Amino acid sequence: MSIDVSEAAGVRYLHFGSDWIQGAMRIARPFALELDYTREMMLPLLLRAADWPRRVLLIGLGAGSLTKFLWRYRPAAKLTVVEIDPRVVACARKFFKLPDDPQRIKLHIADGADFVIQSQRQFDLILVDGFDANARAGRLDTTVFYLDCKARLAEDGLLCVNLLSRRKDFSKSVTRLIDAFDGHAIDFPSCDSGNAIVLAAAAETTAVPPAPTFTELSEATLALKRDTGLNLLPTLSRLTQSRHLSGGVLRF
């Protein structure tokens, strides 16, 4: 697999030997989230307090967009990043301004599925965005892997997964996530790019905040936009059209 970098109209792109875009950065705004699906993967920030998350696991580095955003706008967060290919890490540092901050960003060259099995740590947020050159997730899209992620989540923890399919049919993947998380999962319709985001909650316990109302989500969305420039209003609008916001309350 080759790793290629291209540029067009002020945006730098990462490719794994094909036309598929594996990451992007607007050169003038290196900490902004350029791709729609990366913005939607920050939806968990609307569901918890402003100082959450403190412990994040990111599986799949790519251009480092999610890592950079959380590093910049969640300064109390410790970020554990697992990337299987060391060349991707080198590329993210050289071309995509990945911060060199070993105190807050711990990089592991490893298979993400193996790392989750072997780790004994608990995380507030797990983000999964790992694909090969043919847009295949492999072991990162299995019921066993999702169960392993669930075991690594704190009581109020959330898992957010990017699904990508050339057929834009995510039903089997969504079913695996729903089964692994006992039904506590939210799936979004596919983006124009062919990405779909699924959000899953670790458990329903007293440690989990009450289900947010539409009003609370709207207020959190405006606050996030004010503090970071990230506009999730389109995402919230799409969410209102789903079954998950029936009755004005977000339900997993």
- pLDDT confidence tier of residue 204, bands split at 50, 70 and 90: low
Domain parsing of the chain, residue ranges: 35-206
Contact 131, 17 (CB under 8 A): no
What rounded mean pLDDT belongs to the chain? 89
Residue 191 main-chain phi, psi, to 5 deg: -75, 170
**pLDDT tens-digit map of 114-124:** 999 999 999 99
- pLDDT confidence tier of residue 206, bands split at 50, 70 and 90: very low
Asked whether residue 21 carries a pLDDT value surpassing 90, the answer given is: no
Q: What is the mean pLDDT of residues 45-69?
A: 96
Closest CA to 33 of 222, 185, 224, 166: 224
Contact 151, 35 (CB under 8 A): no
At residue 49's C-alpha, the angle toward residues 59 and 237, to 5°, is 75
Query: Topology of domain 35-206, per CATH?
Result: Rossmann fold (3.40.50)
**Residues with catalytic annotation?**
129
- Sequence-separated (6 or more) residues with CB below 8 Å from residue 216: none
Instruction: Identify the residue whose tokens are 């779909």.
Output: 196
**So what's the pLDDT on residue 134?**
59
Asked whether residue 73 carries a pLDDT value surpassing 60, the answer given is: yes
237 CB-contact burial (10 Å; exposed 0-12 / middle 13-18 / buried 19+): exposed
Q: What is the dihedral of CA 148, 52, 74, 252, to 10 degrees?
A: 60
**pLDDT tens-digit map of 222-235:** 999 999 999 999 88
At residue 70's C-alpha, the angle toward residues 104 and 179, to 5°, is 105
Instruction: Identify the residue whose tokens are 């995509």.
Output: 96
**So what's the pLDDT on residue 249?**
84
Contact 146, 103 (CB under 8 A): no
- pLDDT confidence tier of residue 142, bands split at 50, 70 and 90: very high
Asked whether residue 125 carries a pLDDT value surpassing 90, the answer given is: yes
> Bigger pLDDT: 135 or 57?
57
Beta pairing partners, 5 = 14
Other beta carbons within 10 angstroms of residue 83's beta carbon come to 23
Q: What is the pTM of this model?
A: 0.93
Q: What is the mean pLDDT of residues 51-57?
A: 97
Q: How far apart are CA 223 and CA 236, in angstroms?
A: 13
Asked whether residue 205 carries a pLDDT value surpassing 60, the answer given is: no
